[in-house]
A and B are shown apart, each in its own frame.
Chain A
Amino acid sequence: MKKITINKINEDIYYEKLDNGLDVYLYVNPNIQNNYVTFTTKYGSIYNEFNGKKYPNGIAHFLEHKVFSQKEDPQPEEFYGMTGAITNAYTTFKNTTYMFSGVNNICENICYLLDFVQNIYLTKESVESEKGIITQEINMCNDRPGDILYDAIRKNAIKVNPFKDSIIGTVKDIKSITKEMLEECYYNFYHPENMFLVVTGNFDKDEVMKVIKENQSNKTFKKYIPCKLKKYNEPLEVVKEKEIIKCNTDVPKMAYSIKIPILDIDKRKQSIMMYLIFNILFGDTSTFDEELKKDGIITNTLSYNLLDIDSHYIITLANTGDRYEELIEKIDNKLKDMVITDNDLERKKRVLISNEVFSYENIEMVNDMIVDNVIFDNTVPDNIIEVIKSITTKEINNLLKKIDFSNKSIVILKK
């Protein structure tokens, strides 16, 4: 087992790559009761065209639902329920993650997690009956203005990359999914070489590692052949510069997205710098925010979101309120005049560093952090505090000069 010590905050994460290729990460907090364990495949909604074949949108999420069905009872919810644990799963653009959390029986519960995810049982009937459930999940999302806005932003900013499509798919997509398609996706992506396990909680790390190894060495897997993922050549242009969408909501919602190419510098640092830039200039401690609130153009601070689609960042500032046209003009102007001062930067760096310490108080946050990092580039960096500390105003202001922030796409939702 390799120990990764997070510099400056002295937290230890243990890591080992098993013989079958599975990556295992362990984080122990001896002061708590609960355990939170995730098992992730690096397979999400964007990988729906591989080995020359295109699959319907939403298939990764559909598969997530079906991995939960076992041939024989107990079903996963029932198994975990017996010891008071709960289980769940979620699908994102780049990964599908299965989890449980519970106080007791950690070793048995981990083995069960490995077993149920590494085993699929599908019938034509069970695939068909799942379609009704997912249709209701889609309808639920379509009744939420926030979800509609988020989908519209990507659709209007991204031309060819599958990040443009919703993770869940449309009802039409779902209807076209078959048992065979699900099996093909499962066997291509649910291989130990393409998966990792993250155990966070209060447990004996050596015992847990031993149990995981035993469980894995008892199983055989076919040789892993990474599939050929389709590559996309995403252009810089957006699809639509502005769209007003009619929507059942009483307060209009506006999203201002900027599409910029990702520069050839450390990507982790780049995304932290983007966060710092937009937080300092548009966040709740900016003069921009204060003035617009004083004028009544906004009442809440703009929300910030950064989506990394590999070739580009889609940065979105969003807000609700009637005076969106004035807000758009203000953002246009501010983007032309962006400078970061030492004072603001040093304070925000202190905030980021404090938050690294805060996050270790919550095992779910630690677990999420590990998952995000592994999905990002297969590492858990030990120098995140140093990276934050190393950022200077000179560096940020140079970066600002290199980026053209005028490439925008605006979505407005209103009645």
Chain B
Amino acid sequence: MKYTKYDMNAYNLHIINTDRFKTITVGIAFRRKLVKEEITIRNLLKDLMINANGTYPTERDLIIETEKLYDLKLSSSNYRIGNDTIIAFRMRFLNEKYTEDGMNEESIRFLYDLIFNPKFDSDFDKCKNRMKKSILSLKDNKIRYSLLKLLETTKDKPYSYNSYGEIEVLDKISVDDVKNYYDDVIKNDIVDVFVVGEVNNDKIKNLFRECFKLPTYHKYKSDIIVPELISNGSIKEYREKDNVNQTQISILCKLSKLTDRERKYVLPVYSEMLGGTANSLLFDNVREKNSYAYYVNAIIKSYDNILIIYSGVGAGNEDNVIKIIKKTMKDVSRGKFSLDKFTSAKETMAGAIKASVDSPMGIISNYYASILVGSKDVDERIKMIGSVTKEDIVNVSRKIEFHTVFILEGDNEEDNDK
């Protein structure tokens, strides 16, 4: 596997040349600072851009073309890391070695049309309605809904915004609004392009130089880490009633004064040991020992300075479960955890890092993380995970503080045993 970075003036082209795959994967990332008012339009834009374009003016035309390109896989997504928001386009196709000559170039040219020859007016209402429906369907997933409501309580933080967008905002967006926003993205976002596969580097570079032209390059000083939450003093608790069978507990923890090493290595190990897998402390204490839940998980958002814990429990058990979670965390902060659990957490993380290079998307994520947060290469990261000590875990757990609890509970409790 050989990595080469090409400075294309307005963007960087990263080619990871490897014969590991029968496919070629291209990833394009557009990045800027997240602004609440732009979330909805940015989501709509990423849908419209892979729906149709000047060359393939309807959704159907465009999909038929992907099928002719030996079922080229195309997707776009919008995600956030800390303060930054990223539109990612991903395209994967069979290397022409397994199809026919010239398909690599034809597939990459297909991508240029998507990015530079957009057409927003043909399916505008359909795409809006589709997005509206997905916002309205948010509540179908009670975990996702509860986490959204939990984070909403923090108000001005970037993670408090509904990342799916707002229906009131969506209703007002016009084709011209999207055109203007698109121009702004092309002009001002920071762009990185990744190509993974067995390719001829010069050919790829020249293709991009010829067709993938972005205007001026704006240096934007990225500050990804979200400022810490302010302590509540006591834990804030919110409750909401709904017609549900299971009570959802969602807990937000504040992290403070983390060092870079803690953020990248120590806290992920902590979170893994606390609630990462079926071998975690919470899984043992909440599920195996007490049968209170089917799932209980911890997720770490290092660059948001928060940790989240969630579980689905029987009605009336929420206080007991919260007590167990608190006790488990307190034990960790006193060093009361087995060496086996600690070693397993580190080994599981090391294994996942090692296996990340098995997929083209994993390879792209690794390189993109090095650009975004200066993450190290696979071997170095495994070494650093290995260097985390029990004392590190104890120290970092003192920087974790319960902040807010959100509980979604049923409105009629008798219905529970049907």
Residue of A nearest to B315 (CB): A139
The closest CB in chain B to the CB of A352 belongs to B71
* A284-B59 in contact (CB<8A): yes
Does the CB pair A129–B294 fall under 8 Å? Answer: no
From B60, B129, B346, give the contact of A296 (CB < 8 A): B129
Please give the number of chain A residues whose Cβ is less than 8 angstroms from any Cβ of chain B in the complex: 68
Residues of A near B347 (CB, < 8 A) are: 81-84
B171 to chain A, nearest CB (A): 15
Contact: B244 with A88, CB < 8 Å?
Answer: no
Q: Chain B: interface residue count, which band? A: 35 or more
- Kindly supply a per-residue 1/0 record for chain B positions 200-224, scoring 1 wherever the CB is within 8 Å of any chain A CB and 0 otherwise: 0000000000000000000000000
Question: Which of A19-27, A143-151, A327-335 faces chain B?
Answer: A143-151
- Contact partner, B278, options A33, A87, A294, Cβ 8 Å: A87
Nearest chain A CB to B131 CB, angstrom units: 9
- Which of A102, A129, A144, A284 is in CB contact (< 8 Å) with B351? A102
Q: Is A51 an interface residue (CB 8 A)?
A: no
Whether the pair B358, A348 counts as a contact (CB closer than 8 A) is: no
Q: Shortest beta-carbon distance, A104 to chain B, in Å?
A: 7
Stretch at the interface among A186-194, A247-255, A398-406: A247-255
A101 to chain B: which residues have CB within 8 Å?
355
Residue B330 at the chain A interface, CB threshold 8 Å: no
8 A Cβ contacts from A118-177 to B: 129-137, 139-140, 142-146, 170-172
Residues of A within 8 A of B58 (CB): 290
Residues 245-264 of chain B, each 1 if its beta carbon lies under 8 Å from chain A, else 0: 11000000000000000000
Across chains A and B, the number of contacting residue pairs, with CB separation under 8 Å, is 184
Is the C-beta of A31 less than 8 angstroms from some C-beta in chain B?
A: yes
Do the beta carbons of A284 and B60 come within 8 Å of each other?
yes
List chain B residues, Cβ under 8 A from A145: 140
Contact B67 A296 (CB under 8 A): no
Given contacts A83-B347, A104-B351, A320-B133, contact A296 B22 (CB under 8 A): no
C-alpha spacing A225/B278, complex, angstroms: 35
Beyond A33-B358, A354-B94, is A130–B291 a contact (Cβ under 8 Å)? yes
Nearest-neighbour CB distance to chain B for A203, whole angstroms, equals 14
- B130 touching A300, Cβ below 8 Å: yes
Does B328 interact with chain A (Cβ within 8 Å)? Answer: no
Contact B71 A78 (CB under 8 A): no
Q: CB-CB < 8 A to A284: which residues of B? A: 59-60, 63
**A284 to B50, alpha carbons, bound, how many Å?**
14
Q: How far is the CB of B235 from chain A (nearest CB, A)?
A: 24
State whether A139 touches B245 (Cβ < 8 A). Answer: yes
Q: Say yes or no: A299-B133 contact (C-beta < 8 A), given A88-B278, A284-B59, A285-B64.
A: yes
Distance between Cα atoms of A145 and B344 in the complex (Å): 36
Which residue among B23, B126, B140 has the maximum number of chain A CB atoms within 10 Å of its CB?
Answer: B140
Stretch of A265-273, A306-314, A358-366, A384-392 on the interface side: A358-366
**A146-B142 Cα distance, complex, nearest whole Å:** 12
Partner pick for A33 among B293, B312, B355, CB 8 A cutoff: B355
B4 at the interface (CB under 8 A from A): no
A56 interface residue per 8 A CB criterion: no
Cβ contact within 8 Å between A136 and B141: no
CB-nearest residue of chain B relative to A134? B294
Of the residues B20, B139, B350, contact of A84 by C-beta under 8 Å: B350
| Interface residue? A355 (CB, 8 A) | yes
* Complex: A32 Cα to B201 Cα, angstroms: 23
Interface residues of B (CB under 8 A from A): 19-23, 58-60, 63-64, 67-68, 70-71, 73, 92, 94, 98-99, 123, 125-126, 129-130, 133, 136-137, 139-142, 242-246, 277-279, 283, 287, 291-295, 312-314, 340-341, 343-352, 354-355, 357-359, 416-418
Which A positions have Cβ atoms within 8 angstroms of B? 31-34, 74, 77-78, 80-88, 101-104, 129-137, 139-140, 142-146, 170-172, 248-251, 284-287, 289-290, 293-294, 296, 299-300, 320-321, 347-348, 350-351, 354-355, 357-358, 360-363
**What are 30 sample pairs from A and B whose C-beta atoms fall under 8 A apart?**
A77-B277, A78-B279, A78-B344, A81-B279, A82-B347, A83-B351, A84-B346, A84-B348, A84-B352, A87-B278, A102-B351, A132-B292, A133-B291, A140-B246, A143-B312, A144-B140, A144-B141, A248-B244, A284-B60, A286-B60, A289-B60, A296-B129, A299-B126, A299-B129, A300-B133, A320-B133, A347-B64, A348-B67, A358-B71, A361-B22
